[in-house]
Chain A
Amino acid sequence: MSLIHSRGGSAMPLANERRRVLEALGDEAMTGPAVFRRMRERSIGDATGVGDGVQAGDQAFLYPALHSLEADRRLQATWLPDAGGGSRRAYRRRRPLPSLPCAMRRS
């Protein structure tokens, strides 16, 4: 199943991709390929029996989504060492700021 449902414009697919990325990312740091694998697993789980192949252009919005979420300070990116001696960029969700005591009382 293709992760991109609309190829006409870029705003809508990017917004969808950002939502999927945020849903796929847990508390642990994940590289781009790992995020994509998690998204793919979730997509297959949601639409059982629709197919599981990755098609051309399926990853076109993955990195724009990751980088725009980082620019919006929704994600935090760090370079982590990998097994081959290089480094890989990994993303994790930013922790929300702790609530203020007054806001907690009001809630």
Chain B
Amino acid sequence: MTVDLLAIPLSCGFFALVVAAVLLVRRSERRLGRGPGAPSAPRMPGPDGGTDPIAAYLDRMSGELALPAADVAEVRAELAGHLADSIASLEAEGLDRETAIREALGRLGPAVELGRQIRAAHQSTRRLLAGAGGGVFAAGGGFVLGYIGGGFAVAAVAVGIAALMAGLAAAGLHLPDLLQDPHGIGGNSILIGLTTTIAAWAATRYAVRTSASVSHRTPHSVAVVWAAAGGLGFGWWALFGLHGYQSWSTVAAELCIPVAAVAGAFVRIERPLPHSPRWAVVVGLIAFIVVPLVLFAAVGSSGSGSGSGQAASFQASDLHLDTVAPMAPAQWLPDQIMTSGADADGASGATVINAQRISGQSTLPIAPLLSNWRDLRFESWHALPEDEPGPGGIDTHYTSPFAVQPAALNGESLDATFDFGRLRDAGSWWVLLTAVGPDGHRYRLDEFGYGGSSDFSGSAWDWLMAPQ
């Protein structure tokens, strides 16, 4: 077993960053969540009676502050203490209480102006920059925590839905396959999309509340900026950054990501973040590490069980290939033509189709055979799903091919390339070589053709722009 030594410090550093982000968020929550009535707020010294003009002054001043709750409480408490001192000292000089209050308030100046000045003092450019940096940092931590928590939540819901479907199936009630995902990879993409949606929601929420606290602003005042940044950033990522299997359901799940990012910045943003008990965090982190290891070990020990299928014997007529075109008469096509396919180089998802002239065990040049034929082309037809029982073959619900490519002579064979991975609904397909014969009718030149299946692979944008 080889262990990448660099992975250990990187993992430790990543874990430390997440912990630091969580600590920053918790500290910010204390500033945002602590109001004047909270037990930890500094106690306002009571000016023992006659509080109306003082309370009204402080209310007017507080209305201009637009600071986090803890800051508002502190400023109010501080000014209340200052006024109590001033009034006491003025009364000691011989002024009556009413005059002393008026004089003390007058020395502080207009309440609205004082509130504006104190707000400007708090909301410095330095704190704004610190808030932006803290918000980015907290967004990273929120994304990681949201991804972990969202992964557990989505997996739990998926297991519940699977159990419900199994129960309904056992009861004889079969629900339609809305995902239309014959290979089972679409469900995985949807789970990742939904998990990322939760992570994006958590990221912008953490960013808004942390940057508001650090920059001494209200969450509402910074939410617009983070909503725009989150919507654009996550929107770009969802459209162009997430590559893999795509279908209408996975694209819908991915397009939820920027929506969740914007919603996370606005919806009930003044409410404190939910506080997870420490034991729940520890259990979650352990499960996050242990469960994949156990699954990995279980999959590794089970070995490879694939490749045990049995070859079934079938006739060409079982494949319904005559739906495409009748087989070419033997007098115009004395030798057999065999079509095969292979994945193109790279990760493009394209398939190269190749037709060769076969005589016995040898391959012959195909060009002399083509003198009788014109307009040679490969036709791709929708086929019956591979996982259905039977030999498969052409899906007779369709009356025309979904893709056609001219057959190009390439040495001793005819070639064409189909980009099935960039077609939305390619699914199972069957490719046949056809051509127009001397009688002007189109015939099938190969007896069996070549079949396979492809899933759309690319970004959500690729899927949206792809041909049907």
Contacts and interface: CB of A to CB of B under 8 A. Distances in A.
Interface string B88-110: 00000000000000010011111
Nearest to A58: B107
Interface in A54-69: 54-61, 63-65, 67-68
A32 B78 contact: yes
Nearest to B113: A60
A61 B107 contact: no
Interface string B109-153: 110011001101110101100000000000000000000000000
A57 B82 contact: no
B86 A33 contact: yes
A24 to B, nearest CB: 15
A89 B77 contact: yes
Nearest to A63: B118
B341 interface: no
A67 B120 CA distance: 9
B121 A68 contact: yes
Contacts of B43: 85-87
Given A33-B85, A79-B42, A89-B74, A71 B79 contact: no
26 contacts: A14-B117, A32-B81, A33-B85, A56-B106, A56-B109, A57-B106, A57-B107, A59-B82, A59-B109, A60-B108, A63-B78, A63-B79, A63-B108, A64-B118, A64-B120, A67-B118, A71-B216, A72-B126, A79-B74, A84-B45, A86-B44, A87-B43, A87-B77, A89-B42, A89-B74, A89-B81
Contacts of B110: 60
Contacts of A82: 45, 81
Contacts of B78: 32, 63, 88-89
A32 B126 contact: no
A80 B173 CA distance: 71
For the complex, would chain B's binding face be called helix, strand, loop or mixed by DSSP majority?
Answer: helix
Given A59-B108, A79-B42, A88-B81, A71 B127 contact: yes
Contacts of B113: 60
A32 B82 contact: yes
A99 interface: no
A10 interface: yes
A82 B46 CA distance: 13
Given A59-B108, A71-B124, A87-B43, 9 more contacts: A33-B86, A54-B107, A55-B107, A60-B109, A60-B117, A63-B79, A64-B121, A88-B81, A89-B74
Contacts, number: 87
A64 B123 CA distance: 11
Interface string A25-38: 00000011100000
Interface string B277-307: 0000000000000000000000000000000
The interface size bin for chain B is 20 to 34
Contacts of A57: 106-109
A19 to B, nearest CB: 15
| B77, B78, B216 — most chain A CB neighbours (10 Å) | B78
A56 B90 CA distance: 13
A82 B121 CA distance: 26
Contact of A71 (B42, B81, B109, B122): B122
Contacts of B81: 31-33, 82, 86, 88-89
| B42, B77, B107, B117 — most chain A CB neighbours (10 Å) | B117
Nearest to A33: B85
A86 B81 CA distance: 9
Contacts of A87: 42-43, 77
B174 to A, nearest CB: 66
Closest 8 CB pairs of A and B: A60-B109, A68-B121, A64-B117, A67-B121, A56-B106, A33-B85, A57-B109, A89-B78
A56 B108 CA distance: 7
A61 B110 CA distance: 11
B34 to A, nearest CB: 13
Contacts of A85: 43
Nearest to B79: A63
A49 B12 CA distance: 68
A64 B121 CA distance: 6
Nearest to A79: B42
A64 B44 CA distance: 19
A71 B45 contact: no
Given A32-B82, A63-B79, A89-B78, A71 B126 contact: yes
Given A67-B122, A71-B122, A89-B77, A61 B117 contact: yes
A32 B78 CA distance: 8
B163 to A, nearest CB: 55
Contacts of B118: 63-64, 67
A79 B74 CA distance: 9
Contacts of A59: 82, 107-109
Contact of A86 (B45, B86, B103, B122): B45
Given A32-B78, A57-B107, A87-B42, A64 B114 contact: yes
